[in-house]
Structure 1
Amino acid sequence: MKTRAVRLYGKKDLRLEEFELPPLKEDEILAKVVSDSICMSSYKASSQGAEHKRIPNDVAHNPIIIGHEFAGELLEVGPKWAHKFKTGDKFSIQPALYYENGPVGLLSAPGYSYKYIGGDATYVIIPNEVMEKDCLLKYEGEGFYPASLSEPLSCVIGAMHANYHTTPGSYEHKMEIVEGGNMAILAGVGPMGLAAINYVLHREDRKPSLLVVTDVDQSRLDRASMIYTADFAASRGIKLLYINTGKVDDPIKVLRELTGGKGFDDVFVFAPVRQVVEQGDAILGFDGCLNFFAGPNDTNFSAMLNFYNVHYAYTHIVGTSGGNNNDMVEALEVMSKGLDPAGLVTHIGGLNAVADTTNNLPNIPGGKKLIYTHIDMPLTAIDDFGKLGESNDFFRELADICRRHDGLWSVEAEAFLLSKGG
């Protein structure tokens, strides 16, 4: 079978190509990819090429298919896996395999390391190790885009689970955020920050009593506050505040005052900016945990931490990157109970838009860029559908659908798009 895919050959060298997939082996699965959301990690992979830890050294001669936040439908299941999967199953994939014999060893991952599987393709071959590691996950919800976004959602789920706290006089660490505590999400209205807010507001088993979200972009704060409202948060027993730290003289003082001077139990940093990291450290309360979520490009990135507080106030720091299988399962489960990740999505495009979008991702405003691999469509902001619809019936209908869903992407919009070309 032929596939069209965006392949990485080296630094910023992404090419949309058509080529033959090899014959399916008995321990493999042939799948149709429907959607892929573009991640900043893909930008980093493209920018670094073979220097990236997940990219094979011989990528110039054996290119890999890029994209790791994807969903689709199984077309043919090899005999080895016929007892577990069947043709027609919808799927999502946990890309962090931790597979020692993969193309780059332990860090091998679809979307970074493989010739025949990645999210920015029409058809892929899912290799045996994905199933062996239980990383092929059935998706039984509506549409496909929620399954694509289960991967970024799993990353913030993993971050929440990775935070920990201590008991004075004991060496036992208690994993998780503090129930009923104070939480801050700094630089928190980008795509991953929005995913974190959404998860915190919908989580059933554990939640803070105070959630403060900061940024310096007022338009993004305004959008976040309209999607994830203070009223909804209050109905969940959470006081939610959005703060523009760029408009106050002393952000640390303002943020600490919101806790009555106690400080925050859990702080999540969503931008690799020294000032933001140091701000997060300064607002920690006793036994506060700072999670440095944002992965920097700079291998020498560093920031100052208050080690007096480390010693006397038990403050500490963790870093997380990605989620595990359990986090993906939880992401799919929480979506089945009402969490809609549509608020993360601000742009829609086709396979032809992947290369330029990936290579220029930091320069494109907004949230997640959602790709539908069986259509050709320039990357287009949902907010622009209405204007484009003045002279284009396709965009007029899309704009009308999005308006019916409070200006957001939806299963209805996806179904219309796929009916026209996917």
Structure 2
Amino acid sequence: MKTKAIRLYGKKDLRLEEFDLPKINDDEILAKVVSDSICMSSYKAASQGSDHKRIPNDVAENPVLIGHEFAGELVEIGANWQHKFKAGQKFSIQPAIYYEQGPVGVLSAPGYSYPYIGGDATYVIIPKDVLVQDCLLAYDGPGYYPASLAEPLSCVIGAMHANYHTKPGSYVHQMEIVDGGKMAILAGVGPMGLAAINYAILRQDRKPALLVVTDIDQSRLDRAASIYSPEWAKANGIELIYLNTSGDDPVGKLRGLTGGEGYNDVFVFAPVPAVIEQGDAILANDGCLNFFAGPGNADFTATMNFYNVHYASTHLVGTSGGNNDDMVESLDMFGRGLDPAGLVTHIGGLNAVIETTLNLPQIPGGKKLIYTHKDIPLTAIAEFKEKGKSDPLFAGLHEICQRNNDLWSVEAEDFLLANAKDI
């Protein structure tokens, strides 16, 4: 089986290549990738090369496939896994496998560490490392893009599960956000922030009573409000407020929305010291700050009020990725009505991956969704109308998206898969 894939050879050295996959053994599965969403983590991996903790040291001689937010169909099942999987099943992958015997030890992960599995490919081999840890997950929902976005949603789910609170006189940490509490998501209208808003509103087991989402770009706030409106949040039992913090005294404005009490749960979605310090300053007694955004600089620091740590019981956690249970919950949320389409702002084909990955911080918008068997320039949904004047593919996509609040959808995906040029 031949595959076309993006392979990493070193720092900013990505190549689109066609090569033969070896025949699978009894402990492997051959799979067709349909969609992959490009993550900032892939940008970091491509920028750092073998300096990255998940990239093998010999990547120049043994390149790896990139991309880890992918979905597709199983094609051929190795003998040892035919009791559990069948050809034709749709799938998602939990990439953070931490497999001790992997090529770079405990930090091995699909999309970083392996020669034959990564999301930016047409066909891949799912190795035993993934299978023995139940990290290949069947997906029964509509379309493919939700399964690609299950991994980023699982990161948000894991973050909320990781927050904790305490009870005076007890040494037991009470895990989770405060049910009926006050929550702030700072710098929260990027793709991961949108996922957090969506999840917080649609959770059934617990949710905040007040959710304040901030940014310094009013157009981004307005777009978020058009997708996840305060009215919709209110119908689900949450007071949702979008706040522009670009003016004077953002801490005062944020605390003012709580009557001066502060927030039980604060999530920081940008690796910016001023935003972290803002989050620390708005914590309520026993408040928990979750530093969600991963910095690229190993010397990254910000100040924290340790008087409050001691006397107001404030605390800090950091999360990176979700676990298998979070992925399962993510896929389950799709079955209960959560549609991650609001995260998607661009679509493209495999041909667009290299330029997109290497320039991701400079490309505005949310998730860049790649259809790996297609040849499509990276294109914003907002550009469909103009491009549709000369290209029937984009004319059709614009018409479909316009009927869906300018959002991506399974209908748009089906149209693209049926009509876009193959790579």
Q: TM-score band, normalised by the shorter chain?
A: over 0.9
Shift of 1:95: 0.2
Match for residue 368 of structure 1? 367
Match for residue 110 of structure 1? 110
Match for residue 263 of structure 1? 262
C-alpha offsets along residues 338-378 of structure 1, whole Å, 9 cap, x if unaligned?
00000000000000000000000000000000000000111
Q: Mapping of 1:186-225 within 5 angstroms?
A: 186-225=186-225
The reply on whether 1:315 has 2:343 as its aligned counterpart is: no
What is the identity, as a one-letter code, of the residue corresponding to 1:35? S
The reply on whether 1:387 has 2:381 as its aligned counterpart is: no
The reply on whether 1:90 has 2:97 as its aligned counterpart is: no
Give SS of 2:30's match: strand
C-alpha offsets along residues 87-131 of structure 1, whole Å, 9 cap, x if unaligned?
000000000001000011111000000000000000000001111
Q: Mapping of 1:217-236 within 5 angstroms?
A: 217-236=217-236
Match for residue 376 of structure 2? 377
Distance 1:355 1:389 in 2: 25
C-alpha offsets along residues 124-145 of structure 1, whole Å, 9 cap, x if unaligned?
0000111100000000000000
Match for residue 402 of structure 2? 403
Match for residue 158 of structure 2? 158
What is the identity, as a one-letter code, of the residue corresponding to 1:345? V
Match for residue 167 of structure 1? 167
Match for residue 180 of structure 1? 180
Tell me how large the CA RMSD over aligned residues is.
Answer: 0.5
So what's the TM-score if we normalise by structure 2? Answer: 0.99
So what's the TM-score if we normalise by structure 1? Answer: 0.99
What is the identity, as a one-letter code, of the residue corresponding to 1:4? K
What percent of counterpart residues are identical? Answer: 73
Structure 2, gaps ≥5 residues long: none
Q: Mapping of 1:3-402 within 5 angstroms?
A: 3-246=3-246, 248-402=247-401
Shift of 1:392: 1.6
Distance 1:217 1:9 in 2: 37
Shift of 1:259: 0.4
What is the identity, as a one-letter code, of the residue corresponding to 2:345? T
Give SS of 2:303's match: coil
Distance 1:220 1:367 in 2: 10
C-alpha offsets along residues 22-57 of structure 1, whole Å, 9 cap, x if unaligned?
111011000000000000000000010000000000
Shift of 1:254: 0.6
Structure 1, gaps ≥5 residues long: none
Distance 1:170 1:284 in 2: 21
What is the identity, as a one-letter code, of the residue corresponding to 1:40? M
Distance 1:368 1:141 in 2: 20
What is the identity, as a one-letter code, of the residue corresponding to 2:85? F
Distance 2:156 2:302 in 1: 22
Shift of 1:162: 0.1
C-alpha offsets along residues 120-177 of structure 1, whole Å, 9 cap, x if unaligned?
0000000011110000000000000000000000000000000000001110000000
What is the identity, as a one-letter code, of the residue corresponding to 2:120? D
Shift of 1:228: 0.2
After TM superposition, the runs of 4+ consecutive aligned structure 1 residues lying more than 2 A away are none
